Amino acid sequence: MSELDDLRDTVRAVLAKHDQPWGPLCEQVGVAGLGVPEEYGGAGAGLAAWQVVAEETGRVLSPVPFLGSAVLAVTAASACGAGEVLSQLAEGTVGCLAQGGLRASGSTVDGTATLVLDGDTAEIVLAAARDEHGVGLYEVDPGVQRQHTPALDETRGLATIEFAAAPARRLGDFAADTVRDTACAVLAAEQAGSAARALEITVEYTKQRTQFGRPIGSFQALAHRMADLYVLVETARSMAYAATEPALAAAAKAYCSEAFATVAAEMIQLHGGIAITWDHVAHRYLKRAYVGLELFGPPREHLRRLLG
């Protein structure tokens, strides 16, 4: 068994055991510091390790701040060599990365950032802001005004952050392309995991629900639909793990977003009326899928990148 298989099994076990898994994931598995260089207290692992964790958290729609903190914030800080910040992130302190229309002047940041992943709970606030040198990465005083953003997907922590002459220090240049490509590759793996689990739940349901004295999963029309979904899921997983360069990351984000949305929609239809009840998980997968379509850019945006 490879190290990545061990990591997968351990993460899955922790997620199954704990209702609030972020602490155990950090303490027992070290997920917060997976991508942090060893000299700053991390594991120095590569993209594949992040994707394994994302795939497992995606399977159960876990609300842990992995994507916003352990991936986005760590990637941005690593590109600057911000050792102090990386050490804190490696210990499990939650960080967030705010982007979009922010401006920096001297030692302050101004502007409003919306849809900031884990921005409502982060203790470390990083901001990509335009300054006289280009776009810099700033560590901002965490006392900035924040407001939780209600979203269709209740398992995603999103926030609006107001920067009004917020005290900040410049860590270095912001590696926008690196952050974008890494985010797309890891989110694609998460979506592949969510789609896989949604299909598993659906297949199990069609084995149990009967009509005309037979499980509905035995009907050829439904069996063919689920076979098509299986091909979609396996292709999505392959695309995600192949996303090791910018063009492949764009392709993976576009494909996996659409694949998960398709599987989630079919999950609702194949479950029938029970799927839209509050107690069933099906609607949560659909909501996660539709929010994920727009996260880090919709599929059409990434397809334009491929064509452009």
pTM for the structure as a whole: 0.95
Give start and end residues of each alpha helix (H) in the chain: 3-17, 22-24, 47-59, 74-80, 83-90, 176-208, 220-241, 246-271, 282-294, 299-307
Q: Are 256 and 190 contained in the same domain? A: yes
Q: Are 58 and 110 contained in the same domain? A: no
Domain's final residue, options 174, 198, 218: 174
Tell me the three-class secondary structure of 112-179, residue by residue: EEEEEECCCCCCEEEEEEEECCEEEEEEECCCCEEEECCCCCCCCCEEEEEEEEEEEEEEEECCHHHH
Q: Are 190 and 170 contained in the same domain? A: no
Q: Are 195 and 297 contained in the same domain? A: yes
Running along the chain, 308 residues long, what does each successive block of 10 average in pLDDT? 90 97 96 96 95 98 97 97 96 96 95 95 97 96 93 91 97 97 98 98 87 74 90 98 96 98 95 84 96 94 90
Q: Are 79 and 2 contained in the same domain? A: yes
Provide the sign of the torsion angle of the four alpha carbons 165, 171, 172, 177, taken in this order.
negative
- pLDDT at position 279 is 85
What is the distance between the alpha carbons of residues 164 and 121, in angstroms, rounded to a whole number? 19
Rg (CA), the chain: 20
Cα separations in angstroms, 1 against 6, 29, 48, 56: 7, 17, 15, 17
Beta strand pairing status for 210-211 and 214-215? antiparallel
Which domain covers residue 216, as residue numbers? 177-307
- pLDDT at position 1 is 52
Q: Are 185 and 282 contained in the same domain? A: yes
Domain's final residue, options 62, 93, 124: 93
User: Rounded to 5 degrees, what are φ and ψ at 145?
Assistant: -75, 130
Domain's final residue, options 153, 174, 195: 174
Kindly tell me the burial class for residue 161, based on how many C-beta atoms sit within 10 Å of its own C-beta (0-12, 13-18, 19 or more): buried
Beta strand pairing status for 145-148 and 134-140? unpaired
Kindly tell me the burial class for residue 82, based on how many C-beta atoms sit within 10 Å of its own C-beta (0-12, 13-18, 19 or more): buried
Amino acid identity of residue 200, one-letter, is E
Q: Are 52 and 122 contained in the same domain? A: no
Q: How many structural domains compose the chain?
A: 3
Q: Are 248 and 219 contained in the same domain? A: yes
What is the distance between the alpha carbons of residues 177 and 191, in angstroms, rounded to a whole number? 21
Q: Are 70 and 147 contained in the same domain? A: no
Q: Are 32 and 108 contained in the same domain? A: no
Of 240, 207, 180, nearest in space to 48 by CA: 240
Amino acid identity of residue 156, one-letter, is R
- pLDDT at position 169 is 97
CATH number at residue 221: 1.20.140.10
Beta strand pairing status for 214-215 and 134-140? unpaired
- pLDDT at position 216 is 72
What is the distance between the alpha carbons of residues 185 and 96, in angstroms, rounded to a whole number? 18
Please, are residues 236 and 260 in contact by the beta-carbon 8 Å criterion? yes
